[in-house]
């Protein structure tokens, strides 16, 4: 007959061994978590750096598109019977809801065309610009007695965006050769704000 009696010392020995294993596992888990945190931090830094680089490219691309449209803006609107003669870029204004920026503004004594420029024009851009136009005279009170027209421009224009812009009474500017044209002038009823 063998003596299989478990003593209190045996139980305490098991607890000590179990506690030692738990501490080793916890230490290993903490080391692994520290490594994961370090990897996440490095990844976040890389993402931040990439975002800055992409933001810089996007900004330069937007400037390129604006500079393509600006020289032709007065001409294309004169062809539409809006005799504008002054052109400005990145015009900023404020109202009680915050600030806004108009990419290109062309004007004469009583008419203004506010132009939103995107490299890739989508419906959401058109919707946002319509909200800007609704606030325009609050943000630019010196133009409160002017007729304000809106225009959207893009190098690439989604099909639904061009239809929506036309439906909402916005001029649609797109590239044509080495300049730009108003692409929807045939079927547009320009809206006045």
State the Cα–Cα distance between residues 3 and 45, nearest whole angstrom: 64
Confidence class for position 142, pLDDT limits 50, 70, 90? very high
Residue 41, CA distances (Å) to 28, 37, 38, 51 in order: 20, 6, 5, 15
| Cβ 156 vs Cβ 120: under 8 Å | yes
Cα–Cα distances in angstroms (integers) from residue 49 to residues 6, 44, 45, 52, 56, in the given order:
63, 9, 6, 5, 11
**168/127 Cα distance (integer angstroms):** 9
Question: By the 8 A CB rule, do 102 and 143 touch?
Answer: no
In this predicted structure, the answer to whether residue 62 has a pLDDT above a threshold of 70 is no
pLDDT at 58 over 60: no
User: Mean pLDDT throughout 116-140?
Assistant: 94
Average pLDDT over residues 119-146: 94
Q: What's the whole-number average pLDDT of the chain?
A: 88
Q: Collapse the DSSP code of 32 into the 3-class scheme (helix H, G, I; strand E, B; otherwise coil) and give the result.
A: helix
Average pLDDT, integer, range 41-62 = 71
Residue 176: the pLDDT is 87
Confidence class of residue 12 from pLDDT cuts 50, 70 and 90? confident
Instruction: Tell me the pLDDT band of 193, cut-offs 50, 70 and 90.
Output: very high
CB-based burial label for 20 (10 Å; 0-12, 13-18, 19+): exposed
Q: Which residues pair with 121 in a beta bridge?
A: 157
- pLDDT score for 54: 62
Report pLDDT for 44.
Answer: 82
Question: What pLDDT is stored for residue 57 in this prediction?
Answer: 55
The confidence score (pLDDT) of residue 56 equals 58
Q: CA 123 to CA 162: how far, in whole Å?
A: 8
CA distance 74 to 112: 11
In the predicted structure, residue 59 carries a pLDDT above the cut 80: no
Give me the mean pLDDT over the 47-65 stretch: 67
Confidence band of 60 (pLDDT split at 50, 70, 90): low
Give the tens place of pLDDT for each residue, 171-181. 999 988 888 99
Quote the CA–CA distance of 117 and 48 in Å, as a whole number.
Answer: 26
Q: Is the dihedral of CA 78, 129, 158, 103 positive or negative?
A: positive
Chain-centroid distance of CA 45 in Å reads: 21
Using pLDDT thresholds of 50, 70 and 90, give the confidence band for residue 48: confident
């Amino acid at each position: 007959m063998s003596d299989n009696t478990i003593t209190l010392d045996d139980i305490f020995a098991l607890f000590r061994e179990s506690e030692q294993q738990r501490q080793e596992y916890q230490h290993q888990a903490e080391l692994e978590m520290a490594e994961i945190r370090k990897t996440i931090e490095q990844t976040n830094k890389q993402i931040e750096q990439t975002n800055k680089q992409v933001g810089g490219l996007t900004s330069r691309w937007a400037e390129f598109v604006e500079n393509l449209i600006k020289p032709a803006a007065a001409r294309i609107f004169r062809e539409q019977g809006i005799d504008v003669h002054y052109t400005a870029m990145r015009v900023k204004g404020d109202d009680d809801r915050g600030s806004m920026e108009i990419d290109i503004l062309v004007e004469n004594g009583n008419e203004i065309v506010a132009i939103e420029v995107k490299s890739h024009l989508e419906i959401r851009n058109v919707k946002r610009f319509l909200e800007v136009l609704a606030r325009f005279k609050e943000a630019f009170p010196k133009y409160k007695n002017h007729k304000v027209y809106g225009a959207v421009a893009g190098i690439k224009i989604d099909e639904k965006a061009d239809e929506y812009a036309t439906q909402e009474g916005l001029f649609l500017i797109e590239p044509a050769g080495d300049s730009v044209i108003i692409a929807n002038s045939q079927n547009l009823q320009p809206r006045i704000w």
